[in-house]
Chain A
Amino acid sequence: MPKIRFLLTDGAELAVEAQSGRTLMETALENSVPGIIAECNGSAACATCHVVLPENIMSALGPISEHENDMLDFAEAPREPGSRLSCQIKVSDALDNVSVRIPAA
């Protein structure tokens, strides 16, 4: 099982075992990661599950849809090069030991 390292807005780290195939958003909710609200429960409609990933793993995650791309510009925390909606990312070995930062609004 991949291990995900959530970096919280207060600087703390929360490392969790994640199940492949679940989304990163679901993994965050199951582990009560603060800052992941996910109002729309994975429909990419609310932009409240914004995370920032290291840029060097972005290509391994596949392309960002036009819809997600649009939403990311309007998330509460400013968009960064590694920004994604965590509901649109499936957990895989590519995320093992990767730091997933929750951006401060």
Chain B
Amino acid sequence: MSEAVKVVDDVAFEDLLANPYPVFKRVRDLGPVVKVEAANIMMVTRFDDIIAIERDPETFSSINPQSLLNTVIGPNLMRKDGDDHARERAAMDPSLRPGVVKRCWADPMRAICDDVISQIEHRGEAELFDELAAPIAARALADILGFDDVDWRTMALWSQSLIDGSGNYSHNPEIARKAREAANGVESAVDRMLPHHRDNPNPSMLSSMLQADPPQTVEQIYANIKVAIGGGLNETRDSILTLILGLLQNPDQLARVRAEPSLWGPAFEEAVRWISPIGMYPRRLTRDMEISGTLVRKGEQVGLCVGAANHDDRRFSDPEKFDIFREEKSHLAFGAGSHFCAGTWVSRALVSQIAVPTVFERLRNLRLKNPDHIRIRGWVFRGPTHMPVVWDA
């Protein structure tokens, strides 16, 4: 006998934005699938359930032509499955494979980090969101996409506007307008750059899409470049800040990492488990299905709360603690299944091998300016929003 979906109706949306983890814990303990009224979504929050769902894409589909994401950016690979998804993914992957990252992107990313840090190094003080993490993430992404004339603030504005537009469930006209403007801006930039990349094959994503077999249509390129901007900037920025924050709050672990550079990798994985930049993404049921005994009907949408799964105390002991030495390493911050984050290997290299080690190398005795006033916000997307620091200049 299957259970009905339980409902939580006494949580405010603001509670989720301020700190979703207590809500996630309550929901996770209540049942495998729980409707949270404030978010208007049925949440799946347990680690093993999400893994099982992501191994069954025929039942739990990403296809959703009516989704806001499709409306805002056009039909894209995030809302496709099977061969349609695989072909578009294969057109992007040649720019994002770990070996390509090492051979082609590591040096430019290192130059970007050095340049950004050089602009603040002498001051002894900075706000790391705007003055470090956002410009590094945006400039690295522009390079990888193959945009050579888009400044980092425009990249950041596009990313935020596309993300906001894709989550604009209240149909706010101003948010919709900004998202349209961003979409137009991206399309113009693609139009400007395509001839160059067509004539000069190179490792950039625009070039990979043109070289793919079959080559991607302009509509596919527009849409999937927007996906890469919405999914490749804020998340990288947030994980840079989260890793710095976790280490600054745990000086003993920072000392160990600095003494033993092979620990940068595990430290990064722990940072994105601890505060996952993407906390939730949807799947739609193609048939009636029980999730650990709770029946969900065909056509319904469930929100896979990977942020919650990454704090599932059935799997991770003391999940609220930042601990780079924890036994259980594999997490769901990059998702699972065929939609496993395409930018995983870029982010691992940029954040854990280049940006954050360089920050600690060059900004001596780095520390939080207001350790008691750390602002972290969001639940679908989450990260530090303001991080003033000081160091010995």
Contacts and interface: CB of A to CB of B under 8 A. Distances in A.
B340 interface: yes
Interface stretch (B31-39, B148-156, B180-188, B331-339): B331-339
Contact of A43 (B94, B338, B345): B338
Question: What range describes how many residues of A lie at the interface?
Answer: 10 to 19
A42 B338 contact: yes
B100 interface: yes
A45 B336 contact: no
A39 B93 contact: no
Interface in A40-67: 40-43, 45-48, 67
Contacts of A41: 54-55, 57, 336-338, 340
Contacts of A46: 334, 340, 344
A33 B334 CA distance: 23
A78 to B, nearest CB: 13
A39 B86 contact: no
Interface residues of B, number: 21
Contacts of B344: 45-46
B22 interface: no
A70 interface: yes
A71 B336 contact: no
B94 to A, nearest CB: 8
B196 interface: no
B97 A71 contact: yes
20 contacts: A39-B330, A39-B334, A40-B337, A40-B340, A41-B336, A43-B338, A45-B338, A45-B342, A45-B344, A46-B334, A46-B344, A47-B98, A67-B90, A67-B93, A67-B94, A67-B97, A70-B98, A71-B97, A73-B98, A74-B99
Q: Which 10 A-B pairs have the closest CB atoms?
A: A40-B340, A70-B99, A74-B98, A70-B97, A41-B337, A43-B338, A45-B340, A39-B336, A41-B55, A37-B330
Interface of A: 29, 37, 39-43, 45-48, 67, 70-71, 73-74
Interface of B: 54-55, 57, 86, 89-90, 93-94, 97-100, 330, 334, 336-338, 340, 342, 344-345
